[in-house]
Structure 1
Amino acid sequence: MTLRSSSGMHRPSPLLLAVTGLTVLFLLGPILLSVMAGLVNNYRVGLKSGLTLKWVAQVWANYGGTVWLSLQLALLCVLAVILLGVPCAYALARSRSRLARLFEELLTLPVAVPGMASALALLLAYGSLQGFRQSFWFILVGHIVFTLPFMVRTTTAALQKRSLVDLEEAARSLGASFTQIFFGILLPAILPAIVAASLMVFTLSLGEFNLTWMLHTPLTRTLPVGLADSYASMRIEVGSAYTLIFMLVILPVLWGLQTLARLLERHNEP
């Protein structure tokens, strides 16, 4: 339900605005309460106990290393799935083979299968390689397996647009090489889709728990694993302070990638 203003613009009705506001409050309310719990001296007393940053300092002292490890893991995961996923997406978008369609469906299995099951499969396949099993790279492989379908699906849809296919065929008929077509035409056109998929991959990698919990070691503990440990072994103020740090880490990156995606979309508009 919308209302038309005097300028001809459609304005949402008060009812829709109210429903939207309540939905936002429903989603953000628990998060805000959790953040506040990490900034008070005593959660049970509330704001009356006074504000403090001692819980944040305690979390940073005990778990600060997990922040940098998780950021490195998420950024490397994004880079890896771009390098692997974009060529794979192009092959799937241009292939008419039934095997390509079957591969595209199989690619979604890591998303459909529980993370612990995927982790168990990786342990069975590579667990005997002790140096690799205990390293940061083992978790990275797990994150790549889990997030690659999101990159491939998103960029495949972008590459399958009829206008882009026609443009590619026209460039090929004029004698352009594959390198010129891919890097000069296709890549700039699908860059907004790549950025949008990268945003998804980054957030999934940074917040992934089930798979990471199965694959991590005491030396490769990530943010979500540390968060679970803090909730299980310490008071709620510490766990809530950890949530605050998690949000401070992820929100600037999310806003930056979203802004970049919007700028690229505007740049590609005719």
Structure 2
Amino acid sequence: MNSFANPTAPGMDDRPDQPPAARRRLALPSARAWLACAQWLVTLVTCAFLIVPVAMSIVAGLTVNYFRGVASGLTLRWLDQVWTQYHASVFLSLEVAAATLAATLMAGVPAGYALARSRTRVSRVIEELLVLPVALPGLASALALLVVYGGFSAFRMSAAFIVVGHVVFTLPFMVRPVAAVCASADLRTLEEGAASLGASFWQRFTTIVLPNAKPGIVAGALAVLTLSIGEFNLTWMLHTPDTKTLPVGLADTYASLRIEVGSAYTILFFLMTMPLLVAMQWIGVDAPGAGTRQRKTRVRNKSKDSQ
């Protein structure tokens, strides 16, 4: 009876104030949270702006009639037509990309290592000259190659001429990542230690430089492949009717055929380049510092095991 008469009994209106945790749950998001939400919103809108046209082009390549849309039905007819007419361009693009990669590996890895080790002004000038083709329009580089080597008919009509143009354009994308890795202080220390133990230059290069430069080599290799497959301006100037690559064929389909065929060609191009883009994320191109953190973690684990 007294419990009902006592206004201060538990459960009445004079309950203690809410704890600080409850008050925090009711608080509005902080300015940092609003800023993070705004950044995510801008990122998602930008991705949608870039991805939606590609998705619509892919859908167009799978529809029976582009002007009627998906309501006209889906078909693989256009893909089959593109493959029948342009499969030679697919294989030629792969061959050119593979040859370009081989040439840039043989020239770019030693060049990147040499530029990283040299600190003279001459090496800086050479590095800038290597990057110059990237700054120039592809048509200008192609015109220069035609002026110098266009008189050699057999070379001009072969796919090797396109490979030379692609090597000129993609070589900086191999040299720069390799030079950045080889310029690290840790690699120089390892080389000096190996040299003090009697290792020759070739032994140091194959057992120390190449394994440690793997992230830069992988990043450069994947960049060279994707750029070579997708290069249009330079290739359009250098190609002949017998050396038509994927980008040149894609331009022809959009210029002379119906839009469904051009979109189907885009699907074929997409299927070729996406594996390379995925490989760039998964085959060893780590985020900055990720490889260093992983190595430090392995060292700590080994030290703990030894103890």
1:94 Cα deviation after fit: 0.9
Amino acid at match of 1:211: L
Task: Answer whether contact 1:199 1:258 (CA < 8 A) is retained.
Answer: no
Name the stretch that deviates more: 222-231 or 250-259. Answer: 250-259
Q: In structure 2, what is the equivalent of residue 4 of structure 1?
A: none
Alignment of 1:99-114 (within 5 A): 99-114=122-137
**Is 2:181 the partner of 1:131?**
no
Task: Answer whether contact 2:90 2:245 (CA < 8 A) is retained.
Answer: yes
Secondary structure, counterpart of 1:187 in structure 2: helix
Q: What does the per-residue CA deviation read over 1:184-222, in whole Å, with 9 as the maximum and x for residues that have no partner? A: 011000101100111111111000001000100111000
Secondary structure, counterpart of 1:269 in structure 2: helix
Choose the corresponding residue for 2:227, options 198, 204, 209. Answer: 204
Alignment of 1:114-129 (within 5 A): 114-129=137-152
1:262 Cα deviation after fit: 4.4
Choose the corresponding residue for 1:98, options 88, 98, 121. Answer: 121
1:19 Cα deviation after fit: 2.2
**Is 2:112 the partner of 1:86?**
no
Q: What does the per-residue CA deviation read over 1:138-163, in whole Å, with 9 as the maximum and x for residues that have no partner? A: 10000000000111111111100111
Secondary structure, counterpart of 1:42 in structure 2: coil
Name the stretch that deviates more: 157-166 or 205-214. Answer: 157-166
CA distance in 2 between counterparts of 1:108 and 1:262 reads 22
TM-score, normalised with respect to structure 2: 0.81
Q: Pick 1 or 2: higher relative contact order, CA cutoff 8 A, min separation 6.
A: 1
Is there any run of 5+ residues in structure 1 with no aligned partner, and where?
Answer: 1-9
Q: In structure 2, what is the equivalent of residue 269 of structure 1?
A: 295
Amino acid at match of 1:68: F
Q: In structure 1, what is the equivalent of residue 13 of structure 2?
A: none
Q: In structure 1, what is the equivalent of residue 213 of structure 2?
A: 190
CA distance in 2 between counterparts of 1:167 and 1:223 reads 44
Choose the corresponding residue for 1:170, options 175, 182, 193. Answer: 193
1:173 Cα deviation after fit: 1.8
CA distance in 2 between counterparts of 1:262 and 1:217 reads 36
Task: Answer whether contact 1:138 1:215 (CA < 8 A) is retained.
Answer: yes
Cα RMSD, aligned residues only? 1.9
**Is 2:251 the partner of 1:225?**
no
1:134 Cα deviation after fit: 0.2
CA distance in 1 between counterparts of 2:295 and 2:65 reads 52
**Is 2:35 the partner of 1:35?**
no
CA distance in 1 between counterparts of 2:276 and 2:186 reads 32
CA distance in 2 between counterparts of 1:257 and 1:23 reads 22
Amino acid at match of 1:165: R
CA distance in 2 between counterparts of 1:225 and 1:92 reads 35
Secondary structure, counterpart of 1:41 in structure 2: coil
CA distance in 2 between counterparts of 1:75 and 1:138 reads 14
CA distance in 1 between counterparts of 2:64 and 2:221 reads 38
Q: Which of structures 1 and 2 has the bigger CA Rg?
A: 2
Task: Answer whether contact 2:253 2:262 (CA < 8 A) is retained.
Answer: yes
Alignment of 1:145-184 (within 5 A): 145-184=168-207
Q: What does the per-residue CA deviation read over 1:32-52, in whole Å, with 9 as the maximum and x for residues that have no partner? A: 011111110111111111111
TM-score, normalised with respect to structure 1: 0.92
1:174 Cα deviation after fit: 2.0
1:24 Cα deviation after fit: 1.4
Q: In structure 2, what is the equivalent of residue 76 of structure 1?
A: 99
CA distance in 2 between counterparts of 1:254 and 1:47 reads 29
Is there any run of 5+ residues in structure 2 with no aligned partner, and where?
Answer: 1-31, 297-307
CA distance in 1 between counterparts of 2:134 and 2:174 reads 12
Task: Answer whether contact 2:108 2:171 (CA < 8 A) is retained.
Answer: yes
Secondary structure, counterpart of 1:176 in structure 2: coil
Secondary structure, counterpart of 1:163 in structure 2: helix
1:234 Cα deviation after fit: 0.6
1:78 Cα deviation after fit: 1.1
**Is 2:214 the partner of 1:214?**
no
1:170 Cα deviation after fit: 1.8
Secondary structure, counterpart of 1:108 in structure 2: helix
Task: Answer whether contact 1:107 1:149 (CA < 8 A) is retained.
Answer: yes
Secondary structure, counterpart of 2:151 in structure 1: coil
Task: Answer whether contact 1:81 1:144 (CA < 8 A) is retained.
Answer: yes
Q: In structure 2, what is the equivalent of residue 5 of structure 1?
A: none
CA distance in 2 between counterparts of 1:269 and 1:217 reads 50
